[in-house]
Structure 1
């Protein structure tokens, strides 16, 4: 299931950004961070929602077992990697979640930034919300993980994941036994699961070549987050008037043997309603 966000949900446009770790002199990476630490904040052109204070890359610790550790290496939210050693090998509980964390807490009524009292971003204020990515992940038998955006809505009251590259976790124990339905988002087929009872986490799993019951291993592409949230609202699984608090994208890692997970492209296309007409 999706891990809780680690970034303070209350920063404002006027609060200072903090780099929580730095790289040694001569490193090709501008920042390195141990498990539980992170890098940022970033002013990153690939995420226009950001304000220079609410964009981070985090080496998030979820449920690490004895012997588990990993190091994060970052240049920016679209160029970073993590080297993970998640033990015991074959373990299936989520131990870590290295991810790009973007807060959506700077909405000002028709766009982001520029007001004294910003809020979380209303879903119905957006005409588009998409994630574009390119990543490489290990394929050995000891590496168990999935790569996914994790969207927190309703003031952090609920989270919704979109699994696009699933390795060793294509089972009900990972994404839940309850199937809510099947959605087509931007021409791609997804099976929608709930991990627990009503109100629990919802997980969209991109179907593999075998269709429902299989899981894709898609290393690059575009994920239509807005279409997924609209599908949930239309079918009564979330309220029609939701706000987006945070969008985190990375790997939930359960097992790895000194494995490298690398993100080489990342952007968030978030477009307010009417933005094209104002341009």
Structure 2
């Protein structure tokens, strides 16, 4: 309970500030309605109540978002296009494919960078430079090119996810593969260990903590990439589609519910990776 107290305190503070911001941002609509009706501005208590119950508020109140989130998760059939579970699965499928591609590519590039100086001097700068290009700038162009080639649906979104997720894996894996110090490397050389033995018995085990840390970042980045990949296409399914439809029709509560749905998916991915990390490091004797 003591461990949860700081977390609950922060959450309570955020909720209080959120309610205050909702009243401040939504009050103008209430005042405008009173002015149009030619009546006096409502009392503070009535003003607060009306800002908490608007259908299209500037900033939805926490209870409105919670109600919409509950409705989207549990109030619809999972096959319904109004269900956040349905849209979440569409986005998650692209996320997982892109994450798998980005992780595999990142690990291969990291091994090449560590073992090949030419790749270290050539590939690593390009990998860093690739992340300076805003994904919102290249995603529409990439989607258009892929569509012109007849490639639609899951693959373009997965490639954008891979583009965002591979870089953390590259950086983390390079750092991990280079983690063994000179004494450890010299010890294996005294046992006449070859390059493969050094990799499998020293470098790879040493890189595991770094790899899992980068995988958590990469998973969140892959989810962002999948959502961004849904935006330029005018998608009708996925969390990005929910964001689009909400923005088209001014449904701010729907937008916030979709954002929290994405946060839940990201938290679940990180939790799964964390569980695999604990099991793996424990079996390797690296767990604290």
Give TM-score, length-normalised by structure 1: 0.30
Q: Which has the higher contact order (CA 8 A, sep 6+)?
A: 1
User: Between Structure 1 and Structure 2, whose CA radius of gyration is higher?
Assistant: 2
Higher fraction of strand: 1
